[in-house]
Amino acid sequence: MRPSRESDPVLVSAHRCLTREAIEHAIDLGVDYVEFDVQRCADGSLVLHHDPVDVAPPDAVPYDEALRLLAGRSRVHLDLKFTDDGVVEATAAAVRLLGTDRVVVTTLDDRSVAAVRAWSDEHAPALLVGLSLGRGVKGFSLWRQIKVRLSEIWPHVRYRHSRANVVVAHHTLARFAVARFARQRGLPLLVWTVDTEPSLRYWTRSGRAWMVTTNNPAIALRLRRPDRIWP
C-alpha cells in the first residue's frame, strides 16, 4: 500500500460503531470503513465493545453478526481491544467473510500486530495492519509515561519489530511527528479520532492522510466532497 497522493481522496472511517443502528447509519452515509471495537469475553466469544468485559452485556452485538451486516455493503476497520491469541481468529474471520482488501486491522499492542502480520504472510499478504500510537497513560508512573510517549514520537523500533504496514496515530501525534515518519517510509497514515471541523478540514485535504477515523463522518464526507449534498 502506497501513501496517499495529492489526487487521492482521503478515506473516512466511522468511529466506534458498536450498535446495529450505528452500523446501519454509517453504511447509509456511505463511509469508506465502519470501525468496530472488538473485545474477547471470558468464554472466548467476540463482541463489539470498547472496554474489557468478562461477560458480554445483553445489548452487545456479537462480532460475527456485525461482520455479516457489512458483507457486500462496506469495509471494516477492526480496532482490536484485546491482546490474546484471539486477535488472529478475529482477523481471519473478517478476511474470510469480507475479503482481504476490505479489512484494516489496528491495535495498540505491538505483539498483536506482529501475530496478525505473521498470519497474513501466509493467508492474506495484502492485509493492512496498523500499530496505533497515542495510548492513554493515566495511572502510569511518570517515567513510564515519558517512555511511552517517546516510543510514539520516534516509533522506528516498534514498527520494525511489529512489522506494521500502516502508521496509525492520534491526530496530535500525527501533526507533531508521526505524519513525517509515515511519509519517509512510504506507509499509509491513518489518523484518529478527528472530530472538529477545522481538524477534519486539515486532514481531509488530499495527501495529508490515507484515512481519518471520526465521530462526525457526515462532516468529513461533506468536506471531502463539497459538491454533493450529504444526509
The CATH number linked to 185 is 3.20.20.190
Q: Is residue 4 part of a domain?
A: no
Q: Is residue 229 part of a domain?
A: no
Using an 8 Å Cβ cutoff, are 224 and 212 in contact?
Answer: no
CA dihedral sign of residues 85, 86, 90, 92: positive
Q: Is residue 142 part of a domain?
A: yes
Q: Is residue 98 part of a domain?
A: yes
Q: For residue 181, what are the domain limits?
A: 11-224
Q: List pLDDT tens digits, range 186-218.
A: 999 999 999 999 999 999 987 799 999 999 999
Q: List pLDDT tens digits, range 49-104.
A: 999 999 999 999 999 999 999 999 999 999 999 998 899 999 999 999 999 999 99
Which neighbouring-strand residues pair with 103?
Answer: 76
Please tell me the pTM assigned to this model: 0.93
Q: Is residue 113 part of a domain?
A: yes
Q: Is residue 123 part of a domain?
A: yes
Give the E-state strand segments of the chain in sequence order.
11-14, 33-40, 46-48, 75-80, 103-107, 128-133, 166-170, 189-192, 211-214
Q: Is residue 55 part of a domain?
A: yes
Q: CB within 8 A of 149, min separation 6: which ones?
A: 137
Q: Is residue 230 part of a domain?
A: no
Task: Give me the number of domains the chain comprises.
Answer: 1
DSSP class of 124: -
Using an 8 Å Cβ cutoff, are 62 and 53 in contact?
Answer: no
